[in-house]
Amino acid sequence: MFEDTIAAIATALGEGGLAVIRISGPDALAVADKCFVPLGKSALKPSAAPSHTIHYGKIVRAGRDVDEVMAAVLRAPRTLTREDVVEITCHGGLLAAKLVLDAVLASGARLAEPGEFTRRAFLNGRIDLAQAEAVVDVIHARTELALAAANEQLAGKLSQRINLLRDEMIKTLAHVEAHIDFPDEDIAPDTKGQLIARLERGVAFMDELLRTSREGQILRRGIRAAIVGRPNAGKSSLLNQLLGHERAIVSPIPGTTRDTIEETANIRGLPVIFVDTAGLREAGDAIEVEGIRRSREALARAEFILHVLDASEPLTKADEDYLAEFAGKKRILVRNKMDLPAQLKLPVGTKEATVEVCCLTGKGIEALKEAIKELVWAGEIRAEMLQVMINSRHQEALNRARMATQRTVEALQSNKMLELVAMDLRIAVNAVGEIVGKTSTEDLLDSIFSQFCIGK
């Protein structure tokens, strides 16, 4: 439990119907008492109110009314942070919420740091570290699949499996250390075989989790796709069709797009960040030079390419050059303008997926979305997969745990000193524990919770 009481605006800044100011800590009720005046017969001061009740009143500061509010009183331990919590709902808008927060801070609370409410929930044992990270994933989710995966992690589905893995490894470590304490008793061959089998099952489980890392990162941060092609092939029209609204200016004049345009679209449940690039050609002026330079940068960062070709014209030298230049990238060839007589013939031996579309009418766009999904995420997206999708921090910890566990297996098989076996196994146990926060450092916690907004 913490000695100080914190407060912050828990809702997004900006104009809106309501705003919530959250107070948490040992003096939350006393702080609220100083600035909240109950109105009506049934309304009570926070310190006199039963837990999980709401009271109508007003916030005052220095004898002046600030706003008309509702105050929710939540007593420990059944709260977000397992501390006493008061949540004040006031009128929305920057000024009203700020003045209410100022009144709360003047009554003895401290302004919360980014992620401090969730950090207290973790440190007070209400959630583990993987669940705490899921709070950020819920907030940043851009598709229903991403939200579903974040909610599964927030519910503790990943943590349950990690804890089972850690428990099995601790059992093995305890067995090894028992034999270290009694060196006259060798580990029986059948017992050693059971220990090795248990560790190998742990390695197999870690491999299973590690295979979800790419998909998990796609759902969390999205995947970047650059739309490329020569001028007037229909790149901006394709972007508009994929987004479902007019985002890029479409014109028959070559070089209309002078800068890169980025927008995220929901493609079969996957967040895909499309980057419309300036047409790749010899630039006519300084602005177009800069646009093409930025296009090249976007291409370098893209994880796959949509190469748009004008199907109504024969293949040009520029088309051939770009087909050769981007041959090393994952890509889909998009034959646009299929409403016109077909003139385009692709080079013999072209193996990439090819989709025919008409960006004028939208024909073929759904087939293109399916092709994108198959390129990004092979196979079906199953509900059980969403339960255990790890992030990059989990991946790094599991890789360390896997290597240490593999060394443990090899050490047991070659009859090395049990002290060496135990040392590697402790490394593995600690690495697995990092995922759920059973072993953590202050620097690690600072790194994780600095990604949160103030109020969470």
**Using one digit for the tens of pLDDT, what is the confidence trace for 216-251?**
888 888 888 888 888 888 888 888 888 886 655 444
Interacting residues of 401 by C-beta distance below 8 A, sequence separation 6+: 206, 427, 428, 429, 431, 432
Write phi, then psi, for 432 (nearest 5 degrees): -65, -40
What does the pLDDT read at residue 249? 46
- CATH of the domain spanning 6-112: 3.30.1360.120
Closest listed residue to residue 265, CA positions, set 238, 299, 292: 238
Query: Domain residue spans in the chain?
Result: 6-112, 131-212+389-449, 221-376
The domain defined by 131-212+389-449 folds into: Four Helix Bundle (Hemerythrin (Met), subunit A) (1.20.120)
Q: Cα(62)–Cα(60) distance, rounded to whole angstroms?
A: 7
Quickly tell me which residue has 């030079």 as its tokens.
Answer: 289
- Give yes or no for residue 292 having a pLDDT over 80: no
- Give yes or no for residue 104 having a pLDDT over 50: yes
Q: Cα(448)–Cα(279) distance, rounded to whole angstroms?
A: 40
Please indicate, yes or no, whether the overall pTM of this predicted structure exceeds 0.75. Answer: yes
Quickly tell me which residue has 């709260």 as its tokens.
Answer: 79
Q: Cα(267)–Cα(275) distance, rounded to whole angstroms?
A: 14
Q: Cα(206)–Cα(259) distance, rounded to whole angstroms?
A: 43
Segment 57-72 shows an average pLDDT of 95
pLDDT confidence band for 381 (50 / 70 / 90):
low
Closest listed residue to residue 173, CA positions, set 433, 347, 356, 354: 433
- Give yes or no for residue 195 having a pLDDT over 60: yes
- CATH of the domain spanning 221-376: 3.40.50.300
- Amino acid type, 12: A
pLDDT digits (tens, 9 = 90+) for 143-154: 888 888 889 999
Q: Cα(164)–Cα(170) distance, rounded to whole angstroms?
A: 10
